Each structure stands twice: as structure tokens, then as C-alpha cells.
Amino acid sequence: MVASAAQAQVLSSPGRLWLTGGAAYREHQQFLPDGSLSVRVGGTGRAIAPTNLHLSGAYFFNDFLGANLEARSELFFATQAGRAIAQPGAELTLAVAGRWLAAPWFSLEGQLGWGLQLRSVIAPGPVAQDVAFTSPSLGVAVNLSPSKLFVSQLFFRAQPANFSLTGIAGFQGWSVAGGAQVSLGALRLGDVQLGGAVTFEVVSSRLSANLGVAQQTAARLGFGVSMMRAPVEPILAPGQRLETLSGKVVSGENALAGVVVTLDGQRPTRTDETGAFSFADVVAGPHALAARKDGFKPGALEVKVPGDSVTVTLVAATGPGRIRGVVRSGEKPLAGASIVTGTQKTSSDAEGRYVLEKVGPGPVKVGVRAAGMTDGEEVAQVPAEAEAALDFALVPKEVEVRATLRGLIRAKDGAAVKATVRVVELKLKLAVKADGRFSADVPKGKYTLIIEARGFVTQTKTVEVSSGDQAIFHSELERTR
């Protein structure tokens, strides 16, 4: 079997949806506590309902992890003692789904979630009595795609330990379902492939309580539509062919992992731990490669396919970056505020926005002043040739305010550190953000700050602040030897 990248992209689609409707064939039996048969719906024990609906959907956040939705409903009309009795049935299951693309034409899925079910039993009268219950849900699925226009799924799901939601004494039960779904692609709308869908499944459930036991077995057949992402294959001119383009990304003599590489601005992929990448099914001819990674200048390269393996070289970014932010007073933007850092100065616009160009890289102290407002000061960690966000919230001077302790914690080499800051007198542990910044509003007074991080030398700082003051720390921690 020859499988293409298009098939792989169908099976690894980030989203899919199947919606079918048809008929259900069911046998329903009820037994008294002594085991004797009390009800067998349809006289012969068989009934058919033309009102079966099945919705199956999934969305994957990446190639391996996503969420799965299953919903079913049906309506039977049983005749008992000369009366037509409506017997509805419904199921809704939400699950976390894991996926493994074993081959371009074959993938496996596992699902773990929770389900709600509604079943109907015959009570004395006779009348239908709805029984609602909930249970953990386990599922597995096998997906096959021998052709990009044909996708099939074999599935099995179980709800092994049901819990009653209707207050029935002695309630317990289980439910299992298995079947197949088939999609035949016929129509393309951009990246979405529409197709005709067929589903078939067998469902069996058993419910027991102090009043007896109810068993249901159903076979369901439905026809409808399917939607899933399908790649648009290139249109080849006479004599053209598809090739594979491979290469690696380096910086100096070092391979770079995790670099985002695009081909003609599309089909993004990431380099592996050796810096390698590849694109399959590339039309022969000239193409543009682009590579991007934080901390490096973007790289670009014109390549010709077919050809030798290519090497893209990235250069570490070293130049200054910029700071962008908003100045507010409460929830309102503050226009005309003066923002200063070093020798640069700018003002906020009518929406409170400002930009400081060509600052850093590294920690940059920024001050802000506005008429009638308390002054603000903060430290921004500016990445080389990139942008840092820094917002300010100023308060009117006449408002009594607490003092502010804030700062930035980094390693001596500039790396982020997972640290904690304790204010001894207040028995307060401050949360340090991923970028190393921390902030806390405290009453006026004298405080001892202890800065700790695993693998680094602990630092202690003492500060005294008055109402409205801001104490700013920039701490560079030394690694322990």
C-alpha cells in the first residue's frame, strides 16, 4: 500500500465531524427481582425506530492530544397492553483523546472521559419511566485511510460503572458500544473535505435496581455527512514531479532544535534535536525557505528542488529591542503621560499607548510621570531585537496608597530563574512570574526580602518604604558551586 502525505494529514487532521441519521433496531426486556420476564417490548421482543441521530466530533490541540465528543439520540414507540408508549434514549460523552499516527494510513486513538445517558423502562400502568445515569467512559478507535478520499474508523466505548441521577434504590449498571464509521470524500471547500458518511454500531446496556433488571440491545445504522481537514495537493504541469526537500538549521557549528521552518510561507515544521527538517511532496522547481527562532535573527534561503540537502544559518540577535505598553488610571487610558528611560523620552497617546524604540537588550528601568498622579517605575527585560510589554497603572496623588515592592530576578547569564521572594516581617511569599518579575503592595515600613532559588546563592535585601513609594530590585543570582 502506497501512502501519501495527504493521507497522513487527513488522519492527523486537527478537527473532524460526522453527523448521521437513520434507523435503530432494538430489543428491550425487563425482569422482576425473581428473574421472571415481565416486559418484552414489541411482543416479539423487537422494535424499529426511524429516529436515530449520531454526532461524532473531535478537535486535537496538537498531533497527540485533543478532545472527543459523542452524542446519540433515538425515539422508540413500543406497544404494551394496547397502548403506544414513547421510549426516548440519549447519550452524551466528553473525553480527553490521545492519538498516535503509526503510519500515513493508520492511526490509533484512546479516549478517557465522562458520559451521561438516558434510558426508558416500562413501569406499571403501563407508562415509560426515564432513567438517567452517569458514568466514566473509556474508548479506543482505529482509523484507516487507504486513500485520501476514504477514511474509516473502528471504535469501541464502555461505561462500566453507572451512577443513578434519578434516585432509584439499589441502582447499578453498565453500557458498551462498538461499531464503524466510513467517510467518502467528494467535495472540497478550501482546506475542508466534505464527504458522505455511514455509521453502524451495536449498543448493549444493563440496568438493575430493587424493582428488577432492564436489558437493551440495539443496532443502529445512519447516513449523513463528514467534515475533516484535507490538504490541497499541488497541481503538476506536464513533466513535473514531487520531491522531498531536507536540510538542517545551524548557528555557527551548533545545530538548532525547535526552529520553525516554512516552505513558501506555508507548511510550518520544527527542527529535531539534530537541527534537521524535511518537507515531502514538494513540486520540483525554485522555493523559498524561512527559519525563525526566539533569540535569533530570522533566516531565509532560496532553494531549488531537487537538490542537495540545504543548510540554513541563523545568527544570534544582539541588537536593541523595543518596549510597548499602555498607561492607565484605573480602567481609563491616560494620555500625555511622560515615559522616560535613560536618554529616551516619549508620551502616551489618546489611548494611553506608548513605544520606546532601540532600548536594551537586557533589563531596562522605565519611569512614568503624569500631572496629578503618583510616579511609576518598573524594570522590563527586553529581548534582543524583539519586543517587551510593560503597562503602568497610576493613581491620583490625593488617594492614600500603599507602597510597592517590585523587581526582576535573573541568573548572572541572563537566564530566567524559578525563584521565590519572601517578605519576612509580613510572612508573605511573593509569586515570581516566568519572566522573573514580581510585585506586591505593602503598608509603609521596613522590610527584609529573602530571594531564594534552587541551585543559586540566596540573597537578602532590606528596604524601608513610605506610603506611595516604589522599591525596585534587579537581582542577579550566582549559581552555587
* pLDDT of 351 strictly over 90: yes
* pLDDT of 43 strictly over 60: no
Q: What DSSP letter does each residue of 337-357 carry, written as one string?
A: -EEEETTEEEE--TTSEEEEE
User: From its phi and psi, is residue 200 left (phi > 0), alpha (psi between -120 and 50) or beta?
Assistant: beta
The residue whose grid cell reads 451521561 is 116
Q: Mean pLDDT across the chain, nearest whole number?
A: 84
Strand-pair category, 163-164 with 127-147: antiparallel
Strand partners, 269: 261
| Band of pLDDT at residue 318, cut at 50, 70 and 90 | confident
* pLDDT of 1 strictly over 60: no
Q: Which of 168-172, 251-255, 355-359, 411-415 has the least mean pLDDT?
A: 168-172
The pLDDT value given to residue 47: 64
- Model pLDDT for residues 320-340, shown as the tens digit of each residue: 889 999 999 988 999 999 999
* pLDDT of 5 strictly over 50: no
| Band of pLDDT at residue 8, cut at 50, 70 and 90 | very low
- Model pLDDT for residues 286-315, shown as the tens digit of each residue: 999 999 998 888 899 999 888 888 999 998
Strand partners, 430: 421
pTM passes above 0.85: no
Q: Which of 89-103, 221-235, 339-353, 371-385 has the least mean pLDDT?
A: 221-235
| Band of pLDDT at residue 350, cut at 50, 70 and 90 | very high
- Between the alpha carbon of residue 383 and those of residues 160, 255, 297, 315, the distances in Å are 53, 22, 12, 15
CB of 363 closer than 8 Å to CB of 408: yes
Produce one character per residue of 82-93: b if its CB has 16 or more CB atoms within 10 Å, e if not: eeebebebbbbb
Q: How many residues does the chain have?
A: 481
Distance, in Å, from the CA atom of 289 to the CA atom of 283, rounded to the nearest integer, reads: 14
- Model pLDDT for residues 59-109, shown as the tens digit of each residue: 888 878 999 999 988 887 766 666 667 778 889 999 999 988 887 778 899
The 3-state DSSP class for residue 390 equals coil
* pLDDT of 137 strictly over 80: yes
Which of the pair, 229 or 409, is modelled with greater confidence?
409
Closest by CA to 380, choosing from 461, 435, 453, 316, is 435
Which of the pair, 386 or 128, is modelled with greater confidence?
386
The pLDDT value given to residue 235: 60
- What are the residues whose beta carbons fall under 8 Å from the beta carbon of 436, sequence distance 6 or more? 381, 408, 409, 410, 416, 417, 419
* pLDDT of 412 strictly over 90: no
Domains in the chain, CATH or no CATH each:
5-229 (2.40.128.100), 244-313 (2.60.40.1120), 318-399 (2.60.40.1120), 401-481 (2.60.40.1120)
The pLDDT value given to residue 335: 93
Which of the pair, 228 or 95, is modelled with greater confidence?
95
Q: What is the mean pLDDT of residues 378-402?
A: 84
The pLDDT value given to residue 207: 83
Q: Percentage of residues in the chain with pLDDT exceeding 90?
A: 30
* pLDDT of 2 strictly over 60: no
The pLDDT value given to residue 233: 58
Strand partners, 359: 321
Q: Which of 47-51, 205-209, 288-292, 340-344 has the least mean pLDDT?
A: 47-51
The pLDDT value given to residue 3: 39
Q: What is the mean pLDDT of residues 130-148?
A: 87
The pLDDT value given to residue 64: 85
The pLDDT value given to residue 62: 80
The pLDDT value given to residue 384: 85
Q: Classify the C-alpha dihedral 394-397-403-407 as positive or negative.
A: positive
The pLDDT value given to residue 230: 62
The pLDDT value given to residue 24: 83
Q: Percentage of residues in the chain with pLDDT exceeding 70?
A: 88
Q: What is the mean pLDDT of residues 360-374?
A: 89
Which of the pair, 400 or 474, is modelled with greater confidence?
474
Q: What is the mean pLDDT of residues 13-19?
A: 83
